[in-house]
A and B are shown apart, each in its own frame.
Chain A
Amino acid sequence: SQQGEEDPQALSIQEGENATMNCSYKTSINNLQWYRQNSGRGLVHLILIRSNEREKHSGRLRVTLDTSKKSSSLLITASRAADTASYFCATAPPGTYKYIFGTGTRLKVLA
């Protein structure tokens, strides 16, 4: 079963706009990671945020984590056509070694 659910399932924006996607999960977690996947290829690691962190930045990416609401958001600022991809959140429940993925958000950035 899926632990995480990304929202929206699909998002289409113009180049230069910001893109926000959300992830909700069901159990407590050690950490949460965001990944990008282009056209069914491998997953590219974007950022890891631990359960005791509330916000992290990496370049044009900003991730927030609200453990009380069991949710996270990924903001991509000043989007580019090259950001077109599927984005997944993956959570690591305590006491396990596996990451549980959601179904992803398909982002399309129009030039």
Chain B
Amino acid sequence: DAGVTQSPTHLIKTRGQQVTLRCSPKSGHDTVSWYQQALGQGPQFIFQYYEEEERQRGNFPDRFSGHQFPNYSSELNVNALLLGDSALYLCASSFGRSGNTEAFFGQGTRLTVV
């Protein structure tokens, strides 16, 4: 049973560029959430997708956008990259409408903006 998979594992981008990160949820899960983790901090919620729609959004600018596909996989897009966007980006999957279930995380994508 494959867990949550993310790609790529590492990425280096230049300021001003755009980046797309990908996530496949754990088998049987239909909900995908994205988190940003700066060095030495806990993960911060970016947004959650359920039934191909953004269900909730954290305190992140519109430069951060996402998408969920019919197979439940998801993408996180970040436009106009800033140095401060350098972080570990984590995808979490879970099941169900309530949100009151276990969330399983992938290994993350380490984004470095230079």
Contacts and interface: CB of A to CB of B under 8 A. Distances in A.
Chains A and B come from one and the same complex: yes
Interface of A: 2, 4, 30-31, 33, 35, 40-45, 48, 50, 88, 90, 92, 96-104
Nearest to A3: B42
10 smallest CB-CB distances across A and B, nearest first, come from A101-B42, A42-B107, A98-B45, A97-B99, A43-B105, A30-B100, A97-B56, A97-B48, A42-B105, A101-B43
Nearest to B41: A103
Q: Which of B55, B99, B101, B104 has the most CB of A within 10 A?
A: B99
Interface of B: 4, 6, 31, 33, 35, 39-45, 48, 50, 55-56, 58, 88, 90, 92, 99-108, 110
B42 A31 contact: no
A41 B100 contact: no
